[in-house]
Amino acid sequence: MNNQVQIRKFKKVLVANRGEIAIRVFRALNELGITTVSIYSKEDRYALFRSKADESYPLNPEKGPIDAYLDIDTIIKIALAANVDAIHPGYGFLSENPDFVDACERNGIVFIGPSSQIMNAMGDKISSKKMAIDAQVPIIPGVDYAIKDIDTATKIAAEVGFPIMLKASNGGGGRGMRIVNTMEDLEKEFNEAKNESKKAFGDDKIFIEKYLRAPKHIEVQILGDNYGNVVHLYDRDCSVQRRHQKVVEYAPAFSIPDETRQIIFDSAIRLSQAVGYRNAGTLEFLVDADNNPYFIEMNPRIQVEHTVSEEITNIDLVQSQILVAEGYPLDSDEINIKSQDDVHCDGYSIQTRVTTEDPANNFMPDTGEITVYRSGSGKGIRLDGGNAYTGAVISPYYDSLLVKAISHDRTFAGAVRKSIRTLQEMRIRGVKTNIPFLINVLHHPTFVAGKCYTTFIEETPELFQ
């Protein structure tokens, strides 16, 4: 199958991102003997990640703190001047932007991720739903087209039955979703959703889905090479969310029945193969109270919570991304995944996202200087960070993630205890953090039983005590 193998070894790679994920990718590159290049905004000129790279270059200081990292022309110019072979996009920023993929390809730079065609097909929620239907993957009742006017919205809502969810096709990061409970609310919510989507995501494509009450969010990590081979690295349970954003994630999704998990794995592989997916990707599903799984979207990039899949499978996903982009097949000696049977699931891993959000103040991000920073550590603990150290200044410009604390143990209960112990060891002064809140989540019997659902946090006031 792999007699057409073409390898292009990378000597130098630019990471078009910042913070913890930039450092995570530099580490992977470094271990592969590849020179690392960082880019940074004016606001990040003292940030730690830039000094972790072998070379580092400033972005356009005229652009804002976010826009600097979205400035394709400047990034490509820097990449060409530094003579890099490839760009890793991390997550967020340009990681799901097909124009960026095309710009890389036009300039002879390998984009470490899927092709722009796949990104176009899977990047927006409506078209990925269409692909799922074609691949006979179960989806949530609703429509797979953009709803233009209120008359159509009314008709569809009546068919689907309330409550429904209005979703922006290009929404992301938990934004661009509205729950509508009654027909009386529909027109107002529909118009507002359209306007909001236009402003936030550049178009007003809205579709309707049945709103599932208290589902679990289960996702499958997949890895594909350039030759049509795809494996999964088991599932993650990301049901502990606040405002549709993940707070604690773990792998594997042990509390879902095996039959349901098998449907999800098979669906993920089938859909990935149907679209010719390559590189790392995640297929997200919601599972209802009767354990029916429904595909919701695909993320064509590395995710914040990739770490827990790495822990249970002992596969370095970021290194695998790089090797796949160099052209290595999964069964090559470098990647060494000869078949799905080679992907073993060993123990349990939990990731908690330590942020500078203040749980006592509606999770407002706190800023300022960290005056004391001591982390936890010990057997079975991995910390992926980079923004946090004594003397670091937390700015208001970027997301509030300080460090990801990841535990790994033979049992889930053991992983819970390790996570709690590590969080208790941490001393962070000068900025408020969500650590006490995370500890409350980890102690909660519903969490320990693996029974959390997506509205668990908002329905559990004792977590805030």
Q: What residues have CB less than 8 Å from 166, skipping those under 6 apart?
A: 153, 177, 178, 180, 189, 190, 193, 206, 207, 208
By beta-carbon proximity to ligand ADP, the closer residue of 289 and 413 is 289
By beta-carbon proximity to ligand ADP, the closer residue of 171 and 281 is 171
d(CA 47, CA 444): 36
The least CB distance from residue 42 to ligand ADP, in Å, is: 29
The least CB distance from residue 236 to ligand ADP, in Å, is: 12
Binding-site annotation: residue ranges? 125, 209, 244
Output phi, psi for 383, to 5 deg. -120, 120
The least CB distance from residue 49 to ligand ADP, in Å, is: 24
Amino acid at residue number 218: I
By beta-carbon proximity to ligand ADP, the closer residue of 241 and 352 is 241
Strands 206-210 and 381-385: unpaired
Binding-site annotation: residue ranges for ATP? 125, 209, 244
The question of whether 301 is a catalytic residue gets the answer yes
Instruction: Using DSSP, state whether 369 is helix, strand or coil.
Output: strand
Instruction: Using DSSP, state whether 77 is helix, strand or coil.
Output: helix
By beta-carbon proximity to ligand ADP, the closer residue of 43 and 209 is 209
The least CB distance from residue 210 to ligand ADP, in Å, is: 6
**Interacting residue ranges for ligand ADP, rule: CB under 6 A:** 140, 165, 171-174, 177, 209, 211-212, 215, 217, 241, 244, 284, 286, 296-297, 454
By beta-carbon proximity to ligand ADP, the closer residue of 215 and 376 is 215
Instruction: Using DSSP, state whether 264 is helix, strand or coil.
Output: helix
Residue sitting closest to ligand ADP (CB): 454
DSSP 324: H
Instruction: Please identify which residue in the block is written with the tokens 């827990």.
Output: 308
Q: Which bin fits 194, alpha (ψ -120 to 50), beta or left (φ > 0)?
A: alpha
Catalytic residue among 236, 301, 382, 427: 301
The least CB distance from residue 402 to ligand ADP, in Å, is: 21
Q: Distance of CA 148 to CAs 13, 190, 207, Å?
A: 43, 10, 9
The full length of the chain comes to: 465
Contacts 24+ apart (CB under 8 A), 74-79: 75/14, 75/16, 75/39, 75/100, 76/103, 76/104, 76/107, 76/109, 78/14, 78/37, 78/39, 79/14, 79/37, 79/104, 79/107, 79/109
Instruction: Using DSSP, state whether 276 is helix, strand or coil.
Output: coil
The least CB distance from residue 181 to ligand ADP, in Å, is: 13
By beta-carbon proximity to ligand ADP, the closer residue of 101 and 218 is 218
The catalytic site residues sit at 301
